[in-house]
C-alpha cells in the first residue's frame, strides 16, 4: 500500500522498487527538504534490528547519504535519508560511461565515506555499484548503509536476494560469520576489479556456483602486468580481495594512504614498489 504521510514526511511519490524495499521521494515539512524514503518489504523488515539500523542516523559526510530517521510503520520499517540527484555507478558501468582513469578518485571518495561509518564500528555491509550514486559534479555518494539484503535473511524464507547482490558478498558473509569493517574492503575490491577488467572477479551459472567461486577461486591479475603502475593495482586488488579479513587493509586510514600514494605515482609516472 502506498504511503500518504509519516510524521513530518508527506507528498510521497514512488520512484523505484527493489527486492529489499519500495523507494519514495517525499517532502520533510520540518526541514523543508526533499528526502528519500525506503519502505522495507515485510519479508525483509522481520529480519532487521531496529536499534541497529538507528545507529546509522545522523552520520554526515559529503560522500555519504545521511540517514535522518528510522521508523516502524505498520508491518514494515521505513528509512528516511537524503534525496540524492545522481546516477548509479551500476548504470554508468552498464552503459560504459565510467572510465578507468577515474577509479582512484572513486575509491578515495568511497573510503572517505566509509571512514565515518568505521569510526563508529559500523560496516556499510551492502557496497555495490547500485548503491553508489554519482552526481553531475562527479561526487560519489554511498547509499543504503546497514541495509544488506543478506543480514539475517535465513530468518525470512520468503525473501529472495537479487542476484547482483551475491557478486559483492565477502567470504565471511557467505559463511554467516561475524561481519566487520574489512567486509567493505572486499566489496571495494570487487568494484575496482570490475572497473579495471570490465568483468566481475567471481561468477557462476547460478548462486551456488557463484558462492563457490567467491569462497575458493583466486582471481588472476596477469592482465595488469604490462607496466609497474598496473602491477601496483594488481597488488592493491590482491589485498582488497583477500579471503581472510585479517589479510585485508586494517582500516580506512591505511587504505586511503595507499590510494593516495598510488595516485601520486600515477601523477608523477614514477617507478614504485608496493609493499
- Position 112 scores a pLDDT of 98
Under the banding of pLDDT at 50, 70 and 90, the label for residue 1 is low
In the beta sheet, which residues pair with residue 64?
61, 142
Which residues face 67 on adjacent strands? 57, 81
**pLDDT-based confidence at residue 272 (cuts at 50, 70, 90):** very low
256 pLDDT above the threshold of 90? yes
Tell me how far apart the alpha carbons of residues 129 and 93 are, in angstroms, rounded to a whole number: 8
Mind listing the domains of the chain with CATH numbers?
5-82 (3.30.200.20), 87-268 (1.10.510.10)
d(CA 227, CA 234) in angstroms, rounded, equals 11
Contact assessment for residue 196 and residue 103, using Cβ atoms and an 8 Å cutoff: yes
- Regarding predicted confidence, which is higher, 157 or 26? 26
pLDDT grade for 213, boundaries at 50, 70 and 90: very high
- What is the b/e burial string over 177-186, where b = at least 16 CB atoms within 10 angstroms of the residue's CB? eebbbbbbbb
Question: So what's the pLDDT on residue 160?
Answer: 54
Is residue 181 within 8 Å of 251, Cβ to Cβ? yes
Its sign, for the CA torsion 37, 42, 47, 49, is positive
Question: Which of these, 66, 191, 44, 56, lies nearest to 123 by C-alpha position?
Answer: 56
What pLDDT was estimated at residue 75? Answer: 81
Q: Report residue 274's pLDDT band, with 50, 70 and 90 as the boundaries.
A: very low
Tens of pLDDT, residue by residue over 163-179, are: 677 899 999 999 988 88
Position 159 scores a pLDDT of 46
pLDDT digits (tens, 9 = 90+) for 147-165: 987 765 444 444 456 667 7
Distance, CA of 238 to chain centre: 19
Residue 26 has pLDDT above 80, yes or no: yes
Amino acid at each position: 500500500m502506498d504511503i500518504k504521510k509519516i510524521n513530518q514526511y508527506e507528498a510521497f511519490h514512488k520512484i523505484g522498487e527493489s527486492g529489499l524495499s519500495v523507494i519514495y521521494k517525499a517532502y520533510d515539512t520540518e526541514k523543508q527538504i526533499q528526502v528519500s524514503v525506503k519502505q522495507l518489504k515485510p519479508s525483509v523488515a522481520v529480519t532487521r534490528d531496529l536499534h541497529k539500523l538507528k545507529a546509522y542516523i545522523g552520520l554526515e559526510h559529503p560522500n555519504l547519504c545521511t540517514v535522518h530517521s528510522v521508523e516502524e510503520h505498520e508491518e514494515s520499517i521505513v528509512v528516511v535519508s537524503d534525496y540524492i540527484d545522481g546516477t548509479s555507478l551500476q548504470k554508468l558501468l552498464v552503459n560504459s560511461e565510467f572510465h578507468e582513469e577515474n577509479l582512484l578518485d572513486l575509491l578515495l571518495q568511497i573510503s572517505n565515506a566509509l571512514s565515518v561509518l568505521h569510526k563508529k564500528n559500523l560496516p556499510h555491509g551492502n557496497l555495490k555499484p547500485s548503491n553508489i550514486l554519482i552526481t553531475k559534479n562527479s561526487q560519489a555518494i554511498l547509499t543504503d548503509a546497514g541495509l544488506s539484503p543478506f543480514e539475517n535473511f535465513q530468518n525470512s524464507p520468503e525473501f529472495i536476494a537479487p542476484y547482483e547482490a551475491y557478486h559483492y558478498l565477502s567470504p565471511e558473509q557467505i559463511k554467516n560469520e561475524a561481519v566487520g569493517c574489512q567486509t567493505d574492503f572486499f566489496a571495494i575490491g570487487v568494484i575496482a576489479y570490475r572497473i579495471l577488467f570490465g568483468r566481475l572477479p567471481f561468477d557462476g551459472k547460478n548462486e551456488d556456483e557463484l558462492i563457490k567461486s567467491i569462497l575458493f577461486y583466486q582471481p588472476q591479475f596477469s592482465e595488469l602486468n604490462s607496466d609497474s603502475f598496473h602491477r601496483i593495482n594488481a597488488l592493491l586488488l590482491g589485498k582488497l580481495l583477500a579471503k581472510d579479513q585479517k589479510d585485508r587493509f586494517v582500516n580506512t586510514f591505511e587504505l586511503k594512504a595507499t590510494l593516495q600514494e598510488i595516485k601520486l605515482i600515477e601523477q608523477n609516472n614514477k617507478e614504485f614498489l608496493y609493499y
